[in-house]
Amino acid sequence: QVQLVESGGGWVQAGGSLRLSCAASGRTFNIRNMGWLRQAPGKEREFVAGISWTGGTYYSDSVKGRFTISRDNALNTGYLQMNSLKPEDTAVYFCAAGGTLPGTDYRYWGQGTQVSVSS
Protein backbone atom coordinates (compact mmCIF):
# COMPACT_ATOMS: atom_id res chain seq x y z
CA GLN A 1 0.00 0.00 0.00
CA VAL A 2 1.25 3.46 -0.97
CA GLN A 3 -0.25 6.77 0.09
CA LEU A 4 0.41 9.98 -1.83
CA VAL A 5 -0.33 13.53 -0.69
CA GLU A 6 0.11 16.57 -2.93
CA SER A 7 0.78 20.08 -1.71
CA GLY A 8 1.92 23.43 -3.06
CA GLY A 9 -1.00 24.34 -5.28
CA GLY A 10 -2.54 27.77 -5.25
CA TRP A 11 -3.22 30.90 -7.25
CA VAL A 12 -0.60 32.69 -9.33
CA GLN A 13 -0.51 35.24 -12.12
CA ALA A 14 0.53 34.26 -15.61
CA GLY A 15 4.29 34.08 -15.84
CA GLY A 16 4.66 33.11 -12.21
CA SER A 17 5.95 29.92 -10.64
CA LEU A 18 4.80 27.22 -8.26
CA ARG A 19 6.39 24.08 -6.91
CA LEU A 20 4.24 21.07 -6.19
CA SER A 21 5.31 18.37 -3.77
CA CYS A 22 4.17 14.79 -3.48
CA ALA A 23 4.89 13.03 -0.21
CA ALA A 24 4.76 9.24 -0.30
CA SER A 25 4.33 6.87 2.60
CA GLY A 26 3.79 3.17 3.07
CA ARG A 27 5.61 0.73 0.81
CA THR A 28 7.57 3.42 -0.93
CA PHE A 29 10.41 1.08 -1.84
CA ASN A 30 8.10 -0.44 -4.43
CA ILE A 31 7.70 2.86 -6.29
CA ARG A 32 9.54 2.71 -9.59
CA ASN A 33 7.89 5.34 -11.80
CA MET A 34 5.97 8.37 -10.66
CA GLY A 35 4.17 11.06 -12.56
CA TRP A 36 2.18 14.25 -12.48
CA LEU A 37 -1.13 14.48 -14.27
CA ARG A 38 -3.76 17.18 -14.46
CA GLN A 39 -7.44 17.54 -15.15
CA ALA A 40 -9.24 20.72 -16.10
CA PRO A 41 -13.05 21.10 -15.94
CA GLY A 42 -14.71 19.36 -18.85
CA LYS A 43 -11.48 17.75 -20.02
CA GLU A 44 -9.91 14.34 -19.68
CA ARG A 45 -7.05 13.75 -17.33
CA GLU A 46 -3.76 14.23 -19.15
CA PHE A 47 -0.16 13.30 -18.59
CA VAL A 48 2.08 16.21 -17.61
CA ALA A 49 5.42 14.79 -16.53
CA GLY A 50 6.96 11.56 -15.30
CA ILE A 51 10.19 10.35 -13.78
CA SER A 52 11.70 6.91 -13.41
CA TRP A 53 13.55 5.47 -10.43
CA THR A 54 16.85 6.22 -12.12
CA GLY A 55 15.95 9.78 -13.03
CA GLY A 56 14.77 9.53 -16.61
CA THR A 57 12.18 12.22 -17.32
CA TYR A 58 9.23 12.62 -19.66
CA TYR A 59 7.17 15.70 -20.46
CA SER A 60 4.11 16.53 -22.47
CA ASP A 61 4.76 18.93 -25.32
CA SER A 62 2.61 21.59 -23.69
CA VAL A 63 4.86 21.92 -20.63
CA LYS A 64 8.27 20.99 -22.02
CA GLY A 65 10.80 23.69 -21.24
CA ARG A 66 8.63 25.22 -18.52
CA PHE A 67 8.11 22.41 -16.00
CA THR A 68 10.73 20.27 -14.30
CA ILE A 69 10.01 17.01 -12.52
CA SER A 70 12.33 15.62 -9.88
CA ARG A 71 12.36 13.22 -6.97
CA ASP A 72 14.24 12.74 -3.73
CA ASN A 73 14.13 9.04 -3.01
CA ALA A 74 15.70 9.49 0.42
CA LEU A 75 12.82 11.77 1.41
CA ASN A 76 10.16 9.77 -0.45
CA THR A 77 9.08 12.95 -2.15
CA GLY A 78 8.46 14.00 -5.73
CA TYR A 79 8.36 17.53 -7.08
CA LEU A 80 7.05 19.47 -10.02
CA GLN A 81 8.60 22.89 -10.55
CA MET A 82 6.31 24.97 -12.74
CA ASN A 83 7.66 28.14 -14.32
CA SER A 84 6.21 30.57 -16.85
CA LEU A 85 2.72 29.47 -15.93
CA LYS A 86 -0.11 30.11 -18.36
CA PRO A 87 -3.87 30.32 -17.79
CA GLU A 88 -4.27 27.07 -19.71
CA ASP A 89 -2.23 25.35 -16.99
CA THR A 90 -5.16 25.82 -14.62
CA ALA A 91 -6.25 22.38 -13.42
CA VAL A 92 -6.24 19.96 -10.55
CA TYR A 93 -2.82 18.35 -10.44
CA PHE A 94 -2.39 14.78 -9.25
CA CYS A 95 0.70 12.85 -8.39
CA ALA A 96 0.66 9.16 -9.13
CA ALA A 97 2.88 6.12 -8.83
CA GLY A 98 3.13 2.62 -10.14
CA GLY A 99 2.55 3.16 -13.84
CA THR A 100 4.30 3.27 -17.18
CA LEU A 101 6.10 6.28 -18.62
CA PRO A 102 4.70 8.18 -20.30
CA GLY A 103 1.10 7.36 -19.57
CA THR A 104 -1.99 7.84 -17.43
CA ASP A 105 -2.36 4.34 -15.97
CA TYR A 106 -1.12 4.29 -12.37
CA ARG A 107 -1.86 2.14 -9.37
CA TYR A 108 -1.65 4.86 -6.71
CA TRP A 109 -3.07 8.36 -6.80
CA GLY A 110 -3.04 11.41 -4.57
CA GLN A 111 -6.11 13.54 -3.85
CA GLY A 112 -5.02 16.37 -6.12
CA THR A 113 -4.11 20.01 -5.59
CA GLN A 114 -5.66 22.98 -7.39
CA VAL A 115 -3.48 25.23 -9.53
CA SER A 116 -5.11 28.41 -10.81
CA VAL A 117 -3.33 30.78 -13.18
CA SER A 118 -4.85 34.17 -13.95
CA SER A 119 -4.01 36.45 -16.85
Task: Give how far Cα 66 sits from Cα of 37, 38, 69, 107, Å.
Answer: 15, 15, 10, 27
Using the predicted structure, report yes or no on whether residue 38 has a pLDDT greater than 90: yes
Give the pLDDT of residue 1.
85
Interatomic CA distance for residues 105 and 8, integer angstroms: 23
Exposed (0-12), middle (13-18) or buried (19+): which is 68, by Cβ within 10 Å?
middle
**N residues, the chain:** 119
Mean pLDDT of 8-27: 96
Name the amino acid, one letter, at 43. K
pLDDT in tens, 44-65: 999 999 999 888 999 999 999 9
